[in-house]
Structure 1
Amino acid sequence: MGIVEFTGSALILHAEFVLYGSAASETLAKEMADDVAFHWNEPGAQVFFRSVITPVQFNIKGVYAPQLVEEEVLSNTDALRNFFRIEPFANGNISFVDGVNSNTGYFKLDNLLNRSTTAAHEFGHTIGLDHPANLDIRGRGVPGIMYPRGTIVDPEFQYDPAARPLAPGGTMDPHKRKVLEEDVQALRFDKLQFTGSLATIGAFSSVWHEAHRP
């Protein structure tokens, strides 16, 4: 979730990640925010907005909130704020947000390390993007950021380029997906309801997550 600002010459999507949980830290908050901003800014995307080709920028901030309490998440009305619990363990070994158009979620720590695209992918969900319907994209090159694990891709984008499709190692390595210009265009900034220069993108899910236990 976030707030989109139209400056007159550019669209800037502002968002803040508020991290809590036993594996959260100030360093991780900054790294996660910087990583998501890097991925979403990487294509240097432009969109058609108000009859003009307009550049889009992503301004993401990270905050560590060790004293965060449930009531603060449930009562929050600031569209900038996304609350993510970070823990070393997650049920099913899966990080997730609370649906398409949301502002809360739960991340397994090791899903966020080593230039993973997990946070960038999940952020896409919070601002309105779902998984594509067609998960066999052989012949279409680099997979976009919203393709999930298990997508069938060209060999160079698999975990193991020598593996047969759907065999062990024969699906998309998520480190190899990227935010493409078409992913940014899919956000449909032209459909947002602006009040003055600002519009909200995404919605409040407002879920407090307890730590999962092995």
Structure 2
Amino acid sequence: MTPSNSLHRALHTAGDPPLRPLPAPVAELLGSLAAPPRLAAHLRAVHDVAVRLVDWLEQHCPGLDVDRDAVLFGAATHDIGKTVHVAELSGPGSAHEEAGRELLLAHGFGPALARFAGTHASWTAPDATVEDLLVSTADKVWKNKRVPELEDLLLVRLTQASGRERWEEYLALDELLGDIGDGADHRLAFQAAFPVSG
């Protein structure tokens, strides 16, 4: 299926400031699903923030073992279930979470990647990985929403890996998330520029 003009623009328009493109397999999947253009724009915004988070982590805390590709895939697909539950693009709901996981599995993505669609809202689960925490953080801070409970869980991982004091890690993470949050208006405007339906 050929993507609509709006979906094509959501996937490929640079934005101001420019947003990174989604990984090719994700963009192709969204096209084949005739995904809502606003969803594609949202996934690009969250993916772009996830790149910034992982880039920062690699510099700031190289001792923290993070699967970069998994985080970026998770950020790029976390809401893909909204292709099935379109009403959740503009209203509350969690039906998209399991639907997204099932959709990704049905399209040949392994459980280790498909899981992010189902875990991005459940960062307090006992088996949550640092990758889960990063995808969840990207999904909040892209619009400058700060969730102290989530950030505290990430801080635990940072202090364990770095050996630095919690307050040091807090200040560093707070500065990063503040800088990312400063660009929220541009990301929100980019997303709002695209329609909910094709």
TM range (shorter): 0.3 to 0.5
Q: Which has the larger radius of gyration?
A: 1
TM-score (norm 2): 0.32
Bigger helix share:
2
